[in-house]
Structure 1
């Protein structure tokens, strides 16, 4: 008999005997429900470490793929004869476009076909497209951008399924720390990208991606051994028909949603290259709205298994979405334009920037692990407010930072505070989402939040780039460049101020729900005093 997570055996007095074949780290003949459901709880320390490292490698490679190109944009562009900032920005936004668009789809595929299988496919895809990105040096810049766009599909498959694997293999206590290590792997991956990207570029920039391909290929092989088989959401009693599978995948809803997100993001980012004078840019924007209307119609009226059920769109979820989008859009703008300011105006080198950003390695890991410990003791709404305040402070520091200032002032403290924001907002958003939606939608929580996170980064860069091009007078002088960069950083200040206000309202709302009697007594006292 096979039990899904959380399902009780029919006869608790006669539990099923469990045998884990081929795993020396597991005891044989275990009989308790938790040991069967949460298979990784019984792993030896060595086996558990390998498992966690393999699963967390999805977030590591995701951030590596984003940051290994941040400080080398101009080097790569020069090899193709491309210097237009709008075209260069596609190196980052193209990667984020597919990642943000397909994360939710990747999670649904894992539910239907197995999280381990989709995780492995994602790693294999990322290895192949990384090789393609390096090999594009022999072709053209559009082929390179195509490779970067295709690269984003790899993490879109691995990240949501890594979270699902962690949730299905660990019980609540170890799971929280597993998620903390997952979050901690993000700054490690970012730091690796910021360091090794320019180091490999000093030899020949294609090695940025070829080295990534070799590392991911190793993880692809390791995943077969390190990750156990976990049950799918589909009932195993009978094999579903093709029609049932298509219904569960929500093909029409998924397709219309993907097209809407791609067209909307493409319009804003392509406008940096061609400006809004081109009719096809407007056409893409209008079509994206029409496809989004079609998506919601399918989800509400047609889909039997909607990929984004309307039941989850509550006021609490709206707060989560808005705060998460504001915060992570700001992160993308902050990271991209602070680096551009240092490289193109301040005169810093890519290696020097890697050293300047190195504190994220320590503070990022530390913050993630602390949040993993306190997340069940401190209200998630408070942690979200803390994260938004940190985003706001970081944005202000970087918008006000004089180019000639020394490292240990604005830049150092801005970098430290930014890691507090990133590694506290993501778990807080996941917790709030899980508390606000019905039980049957718990599994999609991490996928939805990750969709908001990565799509917001890409879209935020599109908005910021439009602002930059409108105010930088063509970017012909360092002063013009700096004026455009500062405009985008002040835009990020506005975004985080909006997110902070929303987080304050949400904290008050959450307090009222947690303490209804105290709130009512306070209102009565106030009315009497009046």
Structure 2
């Protein structure tokens, strides 16, 4: 199958190295006409079985990402009890620590894949996740800080696999199969979440370390499969040239990457550590101040010094600001909703972890269905409209959960909120990626998915930090069930406010996008009228 001119132009704007020669020629991409005749997407030529194995292997990165997040959600108290830890602030690090590392290093993981090969970094990420999962289980013989360290290190695995999985998918498939590949990638998220919510408490019933040891065994299997199932993708053009050490360091943008990572880590650490020590400890707000200084240094380096910026802030536009705002509001709300609804159910409502897994099981069907539908319509419906739909779903879910009586029937608030939440998650991610892609110049298209994933996973962790601060300020020490519930509800009403803000942003962006489309159509009609008159 040869590529069309449209596909080739898209390829050049998104991934300058994604085409493979029929004849094995890797001398570089020539003119449009020659490329049209000589190059194909390697994945398009796979038979059905080979394609299924390949897509499942690549999508396993999102599956294991969500599995690692959700397999600890309903077992926090069980794990904490084995270490004699009951402080909610300390327990929250089980989730926020994982998200902190993941959100901080996703963009770096994508850049490493661009420079050293997406397949290589994907495989390294899987191997790292297997080792750190084994470490998390083995921490039962040590201490709680070692367990939290293992959870923090675990997040680096998906930070390497997720952005490179997206890049691999884009480099191996043409537009049609690629869109459906991305849809299956999104659909693997609820499958992974459901697996974590189900098998986490099941293994905890035997002995909680098996939550992580079983994960380590599964990821080790995926590590071996990935070596065979993912094709070697030769690099083209400038990447094929031998570079000096100085050139490699310039392209990695180490000063920019380091300052950005330090800023993100310190900022998130300050908010989440404040749940343990409160803001009265000087080092907490010192970390917050230092994070702002490093953030300023990051922007200066990216704007003034970096030859190959890890994040080209100079191209950020108002459209991208809308995307970032909506994505951050929606996904931070998702983290708050998932964490605190589970806390209410376990600590106030009396539900068991297994019962909660059953309550959340509809995400498996609606999540997959939504992702596949969005994959079909994403090129037919404006992404701004899909983003508004997603933000409305986030808002409705947050409102239902904030209003839900603790002992209400499952089939009322909880069931409908769960269904609507999956609509929000699996429509906001592809919409954000499309809007970002349309808003930046051609040479920055490849980083779009990495940037959006950075916003998604970092927002989840940071949102928990904000919510935890609110909880501790209003729960009167959490000594009674009523005080606990008051603190939990405060975080859920905070999520309502966040999603209301995100909905206003999405509506504003939709109106702006509609006006822009209308002006473009008017100009086109005027040009057609002028050409007819001539």
Relative to the length of structure 2, the TM-score reads 0.92
Picking from 19, 23, 37, the partner of 1:18 is: 23
2:420 corresponding residue in structure 1: 417
510-519 vs 179-188, greater mean Cα deviation:
510-519
What is the rounded CA distance, in whole Å, between the counterparts of 2:297 and 2:274 in structure 1?
24
Deviation at residue 516 of structure 1 after TM alignment: 1.2
2:115–2:239 contact (8 Å) kept in structure 1: no
Structure 1 39/243 Cα, relative in aligned 2: closer, same or farther at 3 Å?
same
Q: Does 1:263 align with 2:266?
A: yes
Going from structure 1 to structure 2, the CA distance change for 1:80 and 1:32 (only over 3 Å counts) comes to same
Give the Cα separation in 2 of the matches to 1:306 and 1:137. 42
Aligned-pair distance for 1:519?
Answer: 8.6
Any residues of structure 2 matched to 1:65-214 within 5 Å, and which?
65-214=68-217
Change (3 A) 1:236 1:380: closer
Structure 1 match to 2:279: 276
Partner SS for 1:180: helix
Q: Does 1:338 align with 2:372?
A: no
Following superposition, the deviation at residue 449 of structure 1 comes to 0.0
Using a 3 Å threshold, how does the CA distance of structure 1 residues 389 and 35 change in structure 2: closer, same or farther?
farther
In 2, distance between residues paired with 1:235 and 1:323?
Answer: 36
Q: Is residue 2:330 matched to residue 1:321?
A: no
Match of 1:59 in 2: 62
Equivalent residue number for residue 23 of structure 1: none
Query: Counterparts of 1:29-48 in structure 2 under 5 Å?
Result: 33=36, 36-48=39-51
Q: Per the alignment, do residues 345 and 519 of structure 1 end up closer, same or farther by CA in structure 2, a change over 3 Å counting?
A: farther
Inter-CA distance 339–249: structure 2 relative to 1 (3 Å threshold): same
Cα shift at 1:230: 1.9
Task: Quote how far apart the aligned CAs of 1:35 are.
Answer: 8.0
Match of 2:451 among 441, 448, 451: 448
- Measured after TM superposition, the shift of residue 18 of structure 1 is 2.4
| Contact 2:348/2:481 (8 A) holds in 1 | yes
Q: Does 1:390 align with 2:402?
A: no
Residues 1:368 and 1:309: Cα distance change in structure 2 (over 3 Å): same
* Secondary structure of the corresponding residue to residue 178 of structure 2: helix
State the distance in 1 between where 2:83 and 2:396 align: 38
For 2:323 and 2:37, locate their aligned partners in 1 and report how far apart those are by CA, in whole Å.
Answer: 31
Alpha-carbon deviations, 1:112-131, whole Å to 9, x = none? 00000000000000000000
Residue 361 (1) aligns with residue 364 (2): yes
Q: 1:375 aligns to what?
A: 378
Mapped partners of 1:152, 1:167: distance in 2:
24
Partner of 1:316, secondary structure, is helix
- The answer for unaligned runs of 5 or more in structure 1 is 9-14, 21-30, 521-530
Structure 2 CA distance for partners of 1:519 and 1:86, relative to 1, 3 Å: farther
Q: Which moved more, 1:227-236 or 1:443-452?
A: 227-236
Aligned residues: 502
Question: Displacement, 1:102?
Answer: 0.1
- Whether the aligned pair in 2 keeps the contact of 1:5 and 1:37 (CA below 8 Å) is no
Please give the residue correspondences for 1:301-312 in structure 2 after superposition, counting only pairs within 5 Å. Answer: 301-312=304-315
RMSD across aligned C-alpha pairs, in angstroms? Answer: 1.9
8 Å Cα contact 1:131-1:213 kept in structure 2: yes
Q: In the alignment, what sits opposite 2:483?
A: 480
- Give the direction of change, closer, same or farther, for the CA distance of 1:179–1:404 in structure 2 (3 Å limit): same
Change (3 A) 1:515 1:136: same
CA distances 1:35-58 after superposition (whole Å, capped 9, x unpaired): 844100010000000000000000
Is the CA contact (8 Å cut-off) linking 2:118 and 2:165 kept in structure 1?
yes
* Paired residue secondary structure (2:410): coil
- The change in CA–CA distance for 1:52 and 1:82 in structure 2 (over 3 A counts) is same
Equivalent position of 1:528 in the other structure = none
C-alpha contact 1:111 1:233 (8 A) present in aligned 2 = no
Could you say which residue in structure 1 is the equivalent of 2:461? Answer: 458
Local SS of the residue matching 2:406: coil
The verdict on how the C-alpha distance between 1:488 and 1:346 changes in structure 2, with shifts beyond 3 A counting, is same
Query: C-alpha separation between the residues in 1 aligned to 2:364 and 2:22?
Result: 44
**Residues 175-204 of structure 1 deviation map (CA, whole Å, 9 limit, x = unaligned):** 000000000000000000000000000000
* SS, match of residue 311 in structure 2: coil
The answer (yes or no) to whether the contact 1:394–1:414 under 8 Å persists in 2 is: yes
Cα drift, residue 19 of structure 1: 5.2
* 1:525 match: none
Deviations 1:409-432 (A, max 9, x none): 000000000000000000000000
Query: What's the offset of the Cα at 1:33?
Result: 4.4
**Aligned residue number for residue 501 of structure 1:** 504
For the residues of structure 1 that align with 2:457 and 2:37, how far apart are their CA atoms? Answer: 34
- Residues 112 and 234, structure 1, Cα contact 8 Å, conserved in 2: no
| Aligned equivalents of 1:262, 1:237: Cα separation in 2 | 34
1:4 Cα deviation after fit: 12
SS of the equivalent of 1:480 reads: helix
Q: Tell me, what secondary structure is at the counterpart of 1:320?
A: helix
What residue is the counterpart of 1:241 in the other structure?
244
Contact 2:71 2:199 in 1 (8 A): yes
Question: Take 1:503 and 1:517, find their aligned partners in 2: how far apart are those partners?
Answer: 21
* Structure 2 residues without counterparts, runs of 5 or longer: 1-7, 14-19, 26-33, 524-534
